[in-house]
Amino acid sequence: MLDNPIMGAALSCFLLGLALSGLARLAPTAAVQSLVSPAIFLTSYLLAYQRVPPFPPIGATSKIFYIALGATLVGFILDLLAIRRLDRVLALIVPGLIAGWIGLPRFTSGDLDVVATAIAL
């Protein structure tokens, strides 16, 4: 069962999640606790793809890694600074920017169906 790399990666991420979740309870601040989920995601990405994606990223899967990494860093800093108003503004703006960055190759292709669907979302 563990000779399958996907199963090994899944088991590793599960064990990492258990360990980090337990350690997060000992953390004095919520900022440190908020790093658990992104750490598990980024680790599972690295275990699944066996490498850090190239920068600048070309495909959507590479972009997702850097989006998660950037969001983790920005979220950690915002948690440390405890700026709540900026959280709300970013929550409204950033998802659209992310979707635009991931879908940019399709948007520039001139396909009106893709553009109309993106605007509708």
pLDDT tens for residues 79-119? Answer: 777 777 776 777 777 777 777 777 776 666 666 666 676 66
pLDDT level of residue 72 (50, 70, 90 thresholds): confident
Question: pTM for this one?
Answer: 0.65
Cα separation values, 6 from 38, 51, 60, 63, Å: 19, 14, 21, 21
pLDDT tens digits along 35-69: 777 887 887 787 777 778 878 877 777 788 888 88
Amino acid at 113: D
- Please give the average per-residue pLDDT across 17-22, as a whole number: 77
Non-local CB neighbours of 31 within 8 Å, separated by 6+ positions: 76, 79, 80
pLDDT for residue 81: 79
Among candidate residues 106, 102, 79, the one with its CA nearest the CA of residue 90: 79
